[in-house]
Structure 1
Amino acid sequence: MDLYGATAEDFAQVKVKNSRHGLQNPNARYRKESAIEDVLASPVVSDPLRQLDICATSDGAAALIVASKSFAEKHLGSLEGVPSVRAISTVTPQYPQHLPELPDIATDSTAVVAAPERVFKDQILDAAYAEAGIGPEDVSLAEVYDLSTALELDWYEHLGLCPKGEGEQLLRSGATTIGGRVPVNPSGGLACFGEAIPAQAIAQVCELTWQLKGQATGRQVEGAKVGVTANQGLFGHGSSVIVAR
């Protein structure tokens, strides 16, 4: 907020966007639209984040069937237009960044050893894009780990959807809502599902598959061809999957 001018209203707008998306998702646990005023009126949990800026914990499950190309052709016939996984990336923070993004803490090794040039969130997407042979400009939609509204804005930049420090501008432009240039969390994200580890990462791939097959009724991203996920776990271990048709 100090560096780039993000506001509490920007964070709240992420919640508003995702709650609106989730209204149309029959799999969402929380299907209630929030207004900016609702978010700003909710209790402060850790300044500047309020209760409605943070996803709830949840139980949940998700499943995928993964098959070889030959098996899929045998059972589906032509694979033209059928979504397929183009990249899978997993990254662990590089030494000395064991506790990511905790500068000036006595236990942070970066106090005495220089941090990596690219933080692990960048590395996750760098590896995925390289494997798929595409770039951020090719992405039609994204499903990201929105543990908080602020974290979703952070992912915009790591995904390469905008330059560093311009996540809020991308949000304000409407680009990340359904109907915009690159919708983010058309499923409603964890704001509407709650955090169900590790089901959330699989659920992201499910949503991309439905979107690319044109089966996301009510929340469909029209003409979607490429989708990317971004997920993060304990101590910064992260993953990304790219699905394309």
Structure 2
Amino acid sequence: MSDRVVVAGVGMIPFVKPGTSDSYDQMGAEAARRALADAGLAYEDVQLAYAGYVIGDSTSGQKALYHLGQTGIPVFNVNNNCSSGSSALYLARQAVDTGVADVALALGFEQMPKGPLEPVFQDRPGTLDAFFERVAAARGVPDDRSAGSAVFFGAAGAQYAEDHGMDPSVFAHITVKSRKHAANNPYAIFRAPLTFEEVLASPRIYGPLTRFQCCPPTCGAAAAVVVSKEYANRRGLRSDVVIAGQAVATDFPDAFDGDMKKLIGYDMTVAASKAVYEQSGIGPEDVKVVELHDCFTTNEFITYEALALTPEGTAERFVLSGDNTYGGRVVTNPSGGLISKGHPLGATGLAQCAELVWQLRGEAGGRQVEGVQVALQHNLGLGGACVVTMYKKVDG
């Protein structure tokens, strides 16, 4: 992949609890305004827009963007579950990379309800039915859907701990780290510290997962403006952050063979990250900062290995030695991640993008990672889609 796609601007709004946010269209419009202002462009300069969200009616993207203007441009609405935001970014990048447009906007937003997330439609097959059935069959437990997605990720964590003879309490260290990182992020929903003991003492949700090891329902929005290198040069825009590699993967035939790691997207992550490492010529050993999809502590833990940040079977040592935080090998989720920053489903991928662009620019404030030249993003949606993106700092 060439370095011709520039992330010219990013923007997001602080993430908040359900019931306390503006409406989805107002949040989306504000995030888009911030990204455009950061890029030094007007909405009239945008030639294509992609809007990612999960809970909403058709053309919600238009509803949000019409607050900025009605310019007649194509607006596409994207739903890939929790990877909707990065899927919108993928399409915007693809449009610029292939010459379809010089300026594309990727927007993600979510206005989530309070409490556990339940299927919107009750009169048709659920897209995750097979996931619940596989957990029940593989783990020898009733088909209990009351804990939602925690069932999948809790089962995967339990399987990992059993396979490696590990105390599952190790997963709780990830929340402690997450809260420490979020303390320096004004956009994060949870910034107060938690102790290891407090994490473990919170109510049990499923398997090894306690409440503080699960991402909270969240409302918010984020956006990115991508432009061609030629356009950036022509308009005198900042062009020092480029997308050096990007790939999407969906599930493989053995995703439902009873291996809980595969069920939660391990193989998708491996495939997409390998493609990105090859495209960019950048290996996992070169990465000092990563925003990855920590919807649950167990998923962050397992994803360390799927992204080859540490060899298979060594994630426990990676966590306990502090290699996942400042002073270690790779700072994971400096933003606080989904667990502490929050997880407004459609906005998450673009919030990750914003954080990494700020890191590469040296604009991350108290959470800045030293000497960042490349940054890796991982965004997962069950059902399924995994988007992995490599960003690179260049002379701009």
TM-score by length of 1: 0.88
Q: Which of the two has greater strand per residue? A: 2
Q: Which residue of 2 aligns with 1:159?
A: 307
Equivalent in the alignment of 1:231: 379
The percentage of counterpart residues that share the same residue type is 36
Q: 1:87 and 2:245 equivalent?
A: yes
* Contact map agreement 1:4 1:166 (CA 8 A) in 2: no
CA drift of 1:96 comes to: 4.4
One of 338, 350, 366 as aligned partner of 1:202: 350
CA shift for structure 1 position 8: 3.3
Structure 1, gaps ≥5 residues long: 111-117
Give the CA RMSD over aligned residues. Answer: 2.0
Work out the CA distance in 1 between the residues paired with 2:190 and 2:254: 39
- Higher alpha-carbon Rg: 2
- Paired residue total: 230
Instruction: Determine if contact 2:335/2:355 at 8 Å carries over to the other structure.
Output: yes
Give the aligned residue type for 1:206.
A
Between the aligned partners of 1:207 and 1:33, the Cα distance in structure 2 is 20
Once the two structures are superposed, the pairs formed by residues 167-206 of structure 1 within 5 Å of their partners are: 167-206=315-354
* Mapping of residues 1-245 of structure 1, within 5 Å: 1-76=161-236, 79=239, 82-97=240-255, 99=256, 102-103=258-259, 119-245=267-393
Task: Summarize deviations over 1:35-62 as a string: whole Å, max 9, x none.
Answer: 1011110111102111111111111100
> What amino acid does structure 1 have at the position aligned with 2:213?
D
Q: Secondary structure at 1:61's aligned position in 2?
A: strand
Check 1:62–1:182 CA distance in 2 against 1; reply closer, same or farther (3 A cut).
same
Letter of the structure 1 residue corresponding to residue 291 of structure 2:
E
Secondary structure of the 1:169 match is helix
1:193 to partner: Cα distance: 2.2
The equivalent residue for 2:97 is: none
Cα distance in 2 for partners of 1:77, 1:58 equals 33
TM-score (norm 2): 0.55
Q: Please state how far the C-alpha of 1:166 moved relative to its aligned partner.
A: 0.6
> Does the CA contact (< 8 Å) of 1:21 and 1:178 recur in 2?
no
Report if the CA contact (8 A) 1:58-1:193 is conserved: no
Partner Cα distance (1:39, 1:19) in 2:
11
For residue 77 of structure 1, report the CA deviation from its aligned partner: 6.4
Of the two structures, which has the highest relative contact order with CA contacts closer than 8 Å and spacing of 6 or more? 1
- For 2:259 and 2:362, locate their aligned partners in 1 and report how far apart those are by CA, in whole Å: 44
